[in-house]
Structure formats: structure tokens, C-alpha cells
């Protein structure tokens, strides 16, 4: 699907094909492209069409690289960067990064974990450059893919990039936290932006048996959606993979950052990535010293030991067991629908 036309941005086609093949080989070494369908998608979808320009950081600001640069050296640098296994800053406003194209190997791992099947309908939250939607469209077909972004300029450019590559999924401008009720129900929902909590609209717009995959607290949570007598709920664990994405716009950021009072903690803990994950997940609800005590007492747990439960009344994160002793509400406050909520009986599920 989606045979792409002559590249309108001007790089040498042979050089672009060779760079793309090199990227695929690099991703394959991670084990993320064992599925032939996803390998074919990465082999055939030209990433450089989705990043006609991007920004690289420098002291005090950003440099812009673009495919139409008259300087062949800078144009070559742009093409190499487009096919590097690295995230690319695609939109910067007032010095702040607001949109990016994710690291391709991380995208591949996320798509594999999404576990799509033929005939599935997928909602993507965060259109970005459109590259991820193109990969999904290559795998499932245009009509089964919907991607949503809050910024009109982002959706317009994503639509343009997708068309240039020969793909036409549904690209909508809107609040991703509200999902897309007019295109529901979905078999899979994938977010490419960090969340403070999981919007309940996503579970409402999912079929029973659906899967939701989203960045949360520097990790990736996978949730299975189930119907129960008390109502629909979603539950699952984090993957082992670290993940850092641009925050979802249009939703409250939650409580103040948890790193404001780490002074006095042992450096080995305060700088440990998994300890910082715990602090981010609990979003300041745990005193840092209390968090450190828990983390060390429980053997410095990896991400896979944490999970999230989302019900009609609220949602919470947990360590090891959703009904165990370590449970923390997610959301802006502890009120109905956003905080601790009630635990759900598993009867009938």
C-alpha cells in the first residue's frame, strides 16, 4: 500500500534508499522488526518525506536542517539525520519543543507491543510528522487509521507529508484527550505523547479486548480493556522500556514536579533512572524520602512491576498488585473520576 511518488524535497533517491536500508538494519538488530509486516513498513515508508526540515539543539537555541538546502553538505547532514535512529525535533515555538518525530527503534517496539491484527481500527493520539500514521496505514490500510492532534498546523503538515508518501489515513484536529467518538470504536489506541493519566474517553471508545499503549511517567503502559458488571475498565503493566515524549497538550499537567526537594537524598538514588520513574509516577504524592525507603525495601523495582488500573470512577498506579499495599491515585486530584476511585471486583471478567 502507499507507493510513494518522486521525492519533492530533492535528495538523491539512491542515497535515501541506502540510508533507509541502513536504518532498518539497525532497528532489526534490536529485535524490534522480527514481524515481517512491520519490517516491510519500515523498509517502504520514506521517513525523510515526513521530516523535510527538523531542528538540532545548540547552546542557546536551535539549528534548522532542511532537504532543500542549497548547501550539499548541510543537505547531506539533513538526510543522514532523517535516517538516524534518533528522535527529531520537528516543531519549536518560542524555544520550546512542541512536536517531534520519535526514535524509530522505539516506534518499532511500540508498534510491535500494540499487537495489531488485520482488520483492526487504530486511533493514534499525537499526529506529529505523520510518520507513525504512515507505518500504521502501510500495515492496516488507510481507512482503518485515525490520527488526532490539537494543533492545526501539525495536522495540516502531517496530512501533506502523508499525501506525499502516498498515504491517506483520517487526520483530525482536536483534543486527543477526548479521543475521537465519531470514528469509534477502536481495537487499538496508541499515544505518542506523555500523559499525566489515562483519559477515560479512550476506554469508552475501545472495544472489549482492545489494547491501549501510551507513554506515562517516563515509561510505556499497556492496558487491556475489559467489560465487567461495574463497568468498563482497563488494566495493565509497564514495559521495561524507558520513554520520553513531548507532553500531551490540552490536559492539565497534574501536580507540581516531584523533583523539587531531592536535596539530602543519596546521589546514587536521586540520579537513578528507576527511582526517578517512581517519583514521576507518584507525581509528588510520596515524600521523596518515603519513596526512597519503599524503593530500596522492594529491591529497586523495575518498570515491569508497576501497573495502572482505570475504572469508571478513577484510576491508580500500583506496585506488583492492583489490590496490594502500594497504590497511588493518578490524575489532577483525588476526586471522583480523576483520583483514587474504587477498586473493581474482577467477578465476571
SS (H, E, C) the chain: CCCCCCCCCCCCHHHHHHHHHHHHHHHHCCCCCCCHHHHHHHHHCCHHHHCCEEEEEECCEEEEEECCCCCHHHHHHHHHHHCCCCCEEEEEECCEEEEEECCHHHHHHHHHHHCCCCCCCEEEECCCCCHHHHHHHHHHCHHHEEEEECCHHHHHHHHHHHHHHCCCCEEEECCHHHCCHHHCCEEEEEECCEECCCCHHHHHCEEEEEEEEEEECCEEEEEEEECCCCCCEEEEEECCCCCCCCECCCCCCCCCCCCCCCCCCCHHHHCCHHHHHHHHHHCCCCCHHHHHHHHHHCCCCCHHHEEEEECCCCEEEEECCCCCCCEEECCCCCCCCCCCCCCCCCCCC
Residues shown for the chain:
349
Q: Has residue 190 got a pLDDT over 50?
A: yes
7 pLDDT tier (thresholds 50, 70, 90)? very low
Of 174-188, 211-225, 273-287, 289-303, which range is least confident? 273-287
Percent of the chain surpassing pLDDT 90: 68
User: Is the pTM value of this prediction over 0.85?
Assistant: yes
Catalytic residue among 57, 99, 270, 345: 99
Provide the pLDDT for residue 263: 55
Provide the pLDDT for residue 219: 95
Give tens-digit pLDDT for 166-178: 999 999 999 999 9
Q: Which grid coordinates belong to 271?
A: 540520579
Provide the pLDDT for residue 29: 96
Give tens-digit pLDDT for 315-329: 999 999 999 999 999
- Average pLDDT, integer, range 65-84: 94
* Greatest mean pLDDT among 86-90, 227-231, 249-253: 86-90
> Is 99 a residue of the active site?
yes
Provide the pLDDT for residue 337: 32
Residues contacting residue 253 through CB under 8 Å, at least 6 positions apart = 196, 247
The larger pLDDT score, comparing residue 254 to residue 335, is at 254
Of 9-13, 65-69, 177-181, which range is least confident? 9-13
Give tens-digit pLDDT for 15-33: 999 999 999 999 999 999 9
Provide the pLDDT for residue 270: 62
Provide the pLDDT for residue 179: 96
Mean pLDDT of the chain: 86
Q: Has residue 58 got a pLDDT over 90?
A: no
Of 55-69, 101-115, 204-218, which range is least confident? 55-69
Amino acid at each position: 500500500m502507499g507507493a510513494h511518488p518522486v521525492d519533492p524535497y530533492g535528495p538523491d533517491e539512491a542515497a535515501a534508499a541506502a540510508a533507509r536500508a541502513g536504518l532498518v538494519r539497525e532497528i532489526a538488530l534490536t529485535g524490534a522488526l522480527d514481524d515481517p509486516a512491520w519490517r516491510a513498513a519500515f523498509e517502504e515508508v520514506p521517513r525523510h518525506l515526513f521530516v523535510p526540515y527538523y531542528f538540532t539543539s545548540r547552546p542557546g537555541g536551535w539549528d534548522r536542517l532542511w532537504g532543500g538546502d542549497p548547501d550539499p553538505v548541510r543537505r547531506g547532514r539533513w538526510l543522514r539525520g532523517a535516517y538516524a535512529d534518533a528522535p527529531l525535533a520537528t516543531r519549536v515555538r518560542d524555544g520550546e519543543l512542541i512536536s517531534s518525530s520519535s526514535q524509530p527503534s522505539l516506534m518499532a517496539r511500540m508498534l510491535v507491543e500494540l499487537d495489531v491484527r488485520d482488520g483492526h481500527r487504530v486511533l493514534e493520539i499525537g499526529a506529529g510528522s505523520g510518520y507513525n500514521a504512515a507505518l500504521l496505514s502501510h500495515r492496516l490500510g488507510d481507512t482503518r487509521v485515525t490520527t488526532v492532534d490539537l494543533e492545526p498546523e501539525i495536522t495540516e503538515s502531517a496530512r501533506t507529508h502523508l499525501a506525499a508518501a502516498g498515504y491517506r489515513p483520517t487526520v483530525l484536529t482536536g483534543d486527543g484527550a477526548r479521543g475521537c467518538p465519531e470514528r469509534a470504536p477502536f481495537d487499538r489506541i496508541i499515544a505518542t505523547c506523555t500523559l499525566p493519566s489515562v483519559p477515560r474517553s479512550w476506554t469508552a471508545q475501545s472495544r472489549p479486548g482492545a489494547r491501549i499503549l501510551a507513554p506515562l511517567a517516563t515509561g510505556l503502559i499497556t492496558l487491556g480493556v475489559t467489560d465487567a458488571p461495574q463497568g468498563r475498565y482497563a488494566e495493565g503493566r509497564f514495559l521495561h522500556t524507558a520513554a520520553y515524549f513531548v507532553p500531551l497538550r490540552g490536559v492539565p499537567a497534574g501536580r507540581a514536579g516531584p523533583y523539587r526537594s531531592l536535596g539530602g537524598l543519596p546521589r546514587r538514588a536521586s540520579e537513578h533512572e528507576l527511582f526517578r520513574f517512581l517519583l514521576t509516577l507518584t507525581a509528588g504524592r510520596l515524600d521523596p524520602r518515603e519513596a526512597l525507603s519503599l524503593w530500596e525495601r522492594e529491591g529497586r523495582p523495575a518498570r515491569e512491576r508497576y501497573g495502572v488500573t482505570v475504572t469508571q470512577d478513577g484510576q491508580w498506579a500500583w506496585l506488583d498488585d492492583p489490590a496490594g499495599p502500594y497504590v497511588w491515585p493518578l490524575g489532577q486530584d483525588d476526586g471522583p473520576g480523576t483520583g483514587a476511585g474504587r477498586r473493581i471486583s474482577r467477578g465476571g471478567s
